Each structure stands twice: as C-alpha cells, then as structure tokens.
Amino acid sequence: MSNDVIVNIEDIKKAVYFISNLTQMQGNRPMRGALNSKGDYMGGIFDRWINIIPEGVVFNKIILPKIADKKDVKVITDYYDYDPKQVGIAPDVIGISVNKKAIPFVKFDEKWMPVNGKPQIEVKTFKKNQKMVSLRNQGYDNKYLVLAETNFRVDYLVPLINEEIYSDDIYNELYMNDDVFIVSNENQMIAQSRKIDMERKDIGTISLLGITTASEFMNKATKCDAGVSVEYFAEVEENQSKRSITGSVGMLKDYCSINNDGLLKLNNNWYDKIDFDGMTYKYNKKIKTLDFFVSDIEAIEILKMCKSKITIKVHKDCIWEDTKLEKGKNYDITIKNLDRSGSTGEEYFLLKTSISKLKNEEDKLLFDLKKVIDNN
C-alpha cells in the first residue's frame, strides 16, 4: 500500500466544517485565544488549522487499511472545543471506531487522561517545501509520532467554494474594456482575468514520512532553548561563476564530525564564539546549526563562507543530503536561519531528510492498533 494518497473534498468535509465553525464563533468560545492571537480572517485561520486534515486522511487511507481486515475501522479525530491551557491537549488521535463502535484512547475528566493500554498518538504535518521539521514537547513523551507531508494546491480552497461564484456570468462581469483603459500594451504587461479551472476536484496529496516516537524524535533532534535561533543548510546549486575562486577556508572535516546516526555535526570551528556553558554564537546571536548528511566527509573543501551561504569544491563524487555532487565542480549551499531570539519555549529541530534516521515504530503501532481492533 502506497504511503502517498490524493486528498479529495470528501476526505476533508468534517475538518472544513470544524475550522469554519471555529472561525465564525471566535470570540465566543474556549478556543478563542488560539484564534485571535494573529487577528486573521478566515483564509489565514484555514492556513493555520489546515494541519488537522492529515490526521484523518493518513489513518483512514494509509495506516488503518493495513490492519482492518474486513472490519469498518475509522480514526476518531478531536473536534472538541476547549482551551488547552486550562485542560491540557488531547492527542491527535483520541480513538478509533470499529464497526461504528467508538473505542476511546483518552477520556476527559476535567482534563485529558489516557485510557490504560491504549496507544497515545500525535500527528505532525509539514509542507512539501519545508526543509526543516520541529516539535515542541507538549507532554509528548512516550507517545507515538506520525510524521506526514502535505503537498496541497496553492488554491486548495477553490474546490470548497460554491461553484456559482465561478459562473460564466460572474466571469463575464470581470471583463475590462481595453479601448477605454489601455493606450498601448505592446509588451503584453497587462491582461484580462482568466477563467477559474473547476475541473480538478482534489486539493493535493498527503505522504506518510514515517512513524516513530516523540522521545526518539527529541533525542535525535537539535534542542533549542528559549531565545536560541536555529540555522540549517538548504538549497544546493552548482556555482556557475566563470571567475575562479582563489584561496580556501578549509576542508569540511575541519568543521564537523560524524555522529552516531551518520550525520555531520558542526564543531566549535563553525561558530564565532562558545561561552562557558557551551552555548554557541554566530553574528552575536545564540544559534545552533542542524546536523546534516554528506556521504564523504573527506571529499569537500570549503572555499568561501558567509552568513547566507558557503561555496564548496568537490574532490570526489558524493552526496550532500539528497543532491549528487560531481568531482571537480563548485557548489553554493544556502544557509537558512530561523530567528528565535524572542521565543520563550524550547523546541526540537531536525532536517526533514533526517527522518529516515529515526527508529521506525510502524510495526509496533500497527500491532497496538490491531490488538484494539481484534478485541472489538
């Protein structure tokens, strides 16, 4: 069974209703703090809450079909309305239904409490274009962590809007009279509005990246305390400059070592300053750089180094993260920075490509879920 699925309108109707209801009732409900903090209108609220969609899709279309046999098994997602600061946070999967019988994994007794012997499951979703993934520990210890990736259309809300809005009559009313408003348009810098394409009914795809535990994620990730920023190597592009680069900063191996997971961990040479507590600094800012993968630490020489990128020379064919590097060529590696200097809580960060290094707990989760299904 594929770990990639197409998401259709039918898959998201309940989530859309729930988010729409939160939006319409904000200011008059327990969750109002989570909604009002950014002062968003409906579109912004959808963008912030869209990650509840993968919870149902990943389980109902990828995970549960592997163990359902001939039973009707569905995930139960948390659609309750409450203030998590007051009662705690329910896990993303609060139970499953087997042949329409609800089996709770947690129950509410003035606060959320786990049900004995039932798996506790969190779902973390990241966008396709995200290079870095993160986790805040909201009581996640000893919980399963299901990691998913969304690749939604940029216009994912279009299929949800009443088709009457996109009628030919409305489109025709958008017509602009060129004879009145345009003197010259030889360079085709201005154009009439195009018709909305309503043929496509899906909103995109969701991929299951892996199943592990929150503890495993936090153990392997880079922990950044409050006020500590994080940086990571992002895009890799061949350096196209015809001007030869003279000099060298040093070999990559001078700046890092290989950790137990086969990833490269940058050492003190990479940072501007290390304080007595071991805190690393760059550009007068507390910062940590994420571990990354290179297939041959001996093969790469750093020619230039600046705040936004490094330029390297490759002495042997090798791989940087998921990009093949060719011997004799120079490459620019972009450095991205997430400023957390004003943050108040700790957070754990990992490159998305490093998820494969986490201990795979899929079989264990399937076993625990199958046990629940078989007993009901």
Q: What is the pLDDT of residues 125-156, one digit of tens each?
A: 999 999 999 999 888 888 999 999 999 998 88
Indicate the SS3 state at residue 159.
helix
Q: What is the pLDDT of residues 221-275, one digit of tens each?
A: 999 999 999 999 999 999 988 777 778 999 999 999 999 899 999 999 999 999 9
Residue of 109 and 139 predicted with greater confidence? 109
The reported pLDDT for the residue numbered 319 is: 97
The reported pLDDT for the residue numbered 1 is: 53
Q: Are residues 254 and 214 in the same domain?
A: no
Burial class, 153, CB count within 10 angstroms (exposed 0-12 / middle 13-18 / buried 19+): middle
- Asked whether residue 187 is domain-assigned, the answer is no
- Distance between CA atoms of 82 and 18, rounded to whole angstroms? 13
Q: In 10 A of CB 346, how many CB atoms?
A: 15
Quote the number of domains for the chain.
2
Q: Are residues 125 and 9 in the same domain?
A: yes
34: containing domain: 4-156+202-220+346-374
Q: Are residues 90 and 104 in the same domain?
A: yes
- Asked whether residue 13 is domain-assigned, the answer is yes
H or E stretch including 55?
helix 53-58
Choose among 104, 108, 127: nearest CA to 117.
104
What single letter denotes the amino acid at residue 241? S
Q: Which residues lie below 8 Å from residue 215, measured CB to CB, with a gap of 6+?
A: 140, 141, 142
Q: Are residues 322 and 367 in the same domain?
A: no
Q: Are residues 331 and 363 in the same domain?
A: no
The reported pLDDT for the residue numbered 293 is: 96
